[in-house]
Each structure stands twice: as C-alpha cells, then as structure tokens.
C-alpha cells in the first residue's frame, strides 16, 4: 500500500502537553492544559515562524523527511 500526498503543503504549530497524566480508568493520556488541544495550520514555514515569534512562543522546527517513492505495480506480486 502506498500513502497519498494529500495535505503535505501545510505547516502545523502544536503546543506540548504540560504535566500529562494518565486516566486510571481508560489509560488515556490527559491534561488540564487546554493549549494541548490547539493545532494551527499555516501555508508556509515562514508564516508559522513569524506567528510563533510575534506571540513569543518557543518553538522547535521539525523539517519534513524526503520521501523515497518506489513505483509498484500490482503485477509485480506475481512475477517472482
């Protein structure tokens, strides 16, 4: 199966969860920090960086990895 290329042109700003706790009943990770629920999308890296700097938000920039595309054919399953 090969993944699609949809929504790859967006940059996302997410807040880190402060003091995560584990829900004793379900085992889910939760927090009282509502910032962890915010996810902002930007069309360019520069817009995301400028927003973080203007709002005085500490940020870590994670560059996307280059994808190695291997073209496959369904018929390749039967040729070996």
Give per-residue pLDDT as tens, 45-63: 999 999 999 999 999 999 8
pTM recorded for the entire structure: 0.63
**Which residues does 52 contact at the CB level (< 8 Å), separation at least 6?**
13, 58, 59
Per-domain boundaries in the chain: 11-78
Question: CA 55 → CA 6, 10, 11, 13, 48, distances in Å?
Answer: 29, 20, 17, 12, 11
Q: Are strands 39-42 and 11-14 parallel, antiparallel or unpaired?
A: antiparallel
Per-residue pLDDT of the chain (80 residues; tens, 9 = 90+): 556 677 678 899 988 877 778 878 888 877 777 887 889 999 999 999 999 999 999 999 998 888 787 888 888 888 87
Which tokens is 54 given?
A: 């203007």
CA distance linking residue 46 with residue 11, whole number of Å: 9
């Amino acid at each position: 199966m090969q993944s699609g290329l949809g929504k790859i042109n967006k940059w996302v700003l997410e807040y880190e969860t402060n003091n995560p706790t584990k829900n004793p009943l379900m085992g889910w990770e939760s927090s009282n920090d509502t910032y962890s629920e915010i996810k902002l999308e930007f069309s360019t890296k520069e817009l995301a960086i400028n927003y973080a700097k203007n709002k005085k938000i500490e940020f870590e920039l994670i560059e996307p990895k280059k994808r190695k595309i291997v073209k496959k054919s369904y018929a390749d399953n039967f040729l070996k």
